[in-house]
Amino acid sequence: MNIDRTLFWFKDGDEMLIVLNEDFFGLGTLLNRLLNDRYDGTKIKFINLDFATEKTYELHPNLPKEDAYYYGGHLRYYGVFNKEQFSSLSWTERQKYVWDKAHQYLCKSAQSIKNKKLLEAAEYAYKKGIEANLNPDYRMVETDINVSGQQLKASVWVNFKEDGMYSKLTLEKEEEIVFEKDIDKTKKGVEFFLEMYKGIKLVNGNLVITGHKDVDYLPLKIPLDKVVL
């Protein structure tokens, strides 16, 4: 990936609004994935898009309000938001608000740092996100397997829900899900959860989900004879 991570940061004065940061972690992840679909410019390690109240900028006049800053692969946009107004919106309206603002912030940042490829990627990601109804769920790992002559796609998904992030195994045959099973759950914003699954293998008639050595249930073996196809 040419962009390692994109996140939204909410602040009111000196208070970091951690719950909002976590609520919009999925949307940031979606934006990062879509940007990477198109972006092939200079590597960017972190894109941080700030949604801070006027109070933050009053307390810290050194921050470049409504402007971008870039150095050594770290890009930040210092945006403004009205917390009370934002709180009055529905969840769907909030998502759209953040998506629209993020698009504006990325476009302004790209122009400011003269990165045309980032501008193109921002336009692409904005449209693709809207087309996908801002659904941040995605396949963290996937592979094609052949079981008893049937060609199947095995995937481990992350599903972003109101109460946390869930991982789920699915088997699909011709784009139809024929088997699914919850694997794990964690709170929103835990980045390690998105990177701990490494692959899916077929070993001696078992489906084996491999992953980070420090996760005590991985590798996870799922006997295929338990899977009703």
Positions touching other proteins (CB under 8 A) are 4-5, 7, 9, 11, 14, 16, 18, 21-22, 25, 46, 48, 52, 56, 59-60, 62-64, 69, 71-74, 76, 181-187, 189-193, 196, 208, 212-223, 226
Select 123 or 224, whichever has its Cβ closest to other proteins.
Answer: 224
d(CA 112, CA 67): 8
By beta-carbon proximity to other proteins, the closer residue of 34 and 52 is 52
Residue 91 backbone dihedrals phi, psi, to 5 degrees? -60, -45
121 vs 209, which CB is nearer to other proteins?
A: 209
Distances (CA, A) of 91 to 49, 86, 97, 161: 19, 10, 10, 12
CB of 171 vs other proteins, minimal distance in Å: 13
Alpha helices in the chain (DSSP H): 18-23, 25-38, 54-59, 83-87, 91-112, 116-131, 191-195
CB of 131 to other proteins, least distance (A): 27
Minimum Å distance from CB 90 to other proteins? 25
d(CA 89, CA 212): 39
101: helix, strand or coil: helix
| Nearest distance in Å: CB 64, other proteins | 6
For the CB of residue 211, give the shortest distance to other proteins in the complex, in Å. Answer: 11
Tell me how far apart the alpha carbons of residues 218 and 198 are, in angstroms, rounded to a whole number: 10
Q: For residues 69 and 97, which CB has a smaller minimum distance to other proteins in the complex?
A: 69
- For the chain, the first-to-last Cα distance in angstroms comes to 35
Contacts (Cβ under 8 Å, ≥6 apart) of 202: 145, 146, 147, 208, 224
* Sign of the CA dihedral with 83 first, then 3, 128, and 200 last: negative
Is 95 or 167 the residue whose CB approaches other proteins more closely? 167
Residue 12 CB, nearest distance to other proteins (Å)? Answer: 11
Of the pair 120, 147, the CB lying nearest other proteins is at 147
Reading the block at residue 102, the tokens are: 């993020």
